[in-house]
Structure 1
Amino acid sequence: MAQENIELSEKPGDSGCACGHHHVEFPELDVQQIPGEVRHATIFGALEAIQPGRGLIIRTTHDPIPLLQQLGQRHPGKYNMEYLERGPQQWRIQFTLA
């Protein structure tokens, strides 16, 4: 069985922009690279690994409404979620601990 390469990219350090606020960059998980049979379980595992003050960004090619519904049922109120990008070709959602 061939091993899948799953892209998880994290840029070291914090980013600064012209807005004057301090921004922390979180690892970004391209979920399209995860086999469908284990995709949601892998994402839930990655979210469970979030430490206080940290977060995770998932990137996909569609609005992951079923995943978000499952997450709300499994862990109501545990995560804050913010859409960083809403299609049409890519969706990026940032999760942090609530």
Structure 2
Amino acid sequence: MNQTATATTLDVRVLPCEQRRELIFSTFDGLAAGGSMEIVNDHDIKPLQGVFENLVPGKFSWEYLQKGPDLWRVAITKIGAARTGGQCCGSCGGDGH
């Protein structure tokens, strides 16, 4: 994971498949409102967009930065406070209840 002042970059190509989703959503949960992360992969992660829509509808934006054929880059930005997995991300100062 590489973090800059404006975005966190997750190169998930180096991770086993079973670890990718947990890392992506824990990183998203840690973003402040307006914060973004970039996911780098060797194939399109379009199905992940549907997972985001189910877990945090209206709380993220999805932008392709690069569309293959060998490298895919997607920027995901948190819009307002968001929760995933029923846990508060903490960006609103709430306690999750």
- Aligned twin of 1:61: 42
RMSD: 1.5
TM-score (ref. length: structure 1): 0.72
Q: Equivalent residue of 1:27, what SS?
A: strand
Give the share of equivalent positions with the same residue, in percent. 32
Q: Displacement, 1:52?
A: 2.0
Q: Equivalent residue of 1:77, what SS?
A: coil
Q: Equivalent residue of 2:7, what SS?
A: coil
Return the match for 1:9 from 2, 13, 30.
Answer: 2
Q: Write out the 4+ residue segments of structure 1 that deviate beyond 4 Å after TM superposition.
A: none
Structural mapping, 1:1-98, within 5 Å = 8-11=1-4, 25-98=6-79
Contact 2:66–2:74 under 8 Å retained in 1: yes
Q: Which has the larger radius of gyration?
A: 1
Higher relative contact order (CA 8 A, sep 6+): 2
TM-score (ref. length: structure 2): 0.72
Q: Equivalent residue of 1:89, what SS?
A: coil
Partner letter of residue 37 of structure 1?
Answer: E
Contact 2:49–2:62 under 8 Å retained in 1: no
5+ residue gaps in structure 2?
80-97
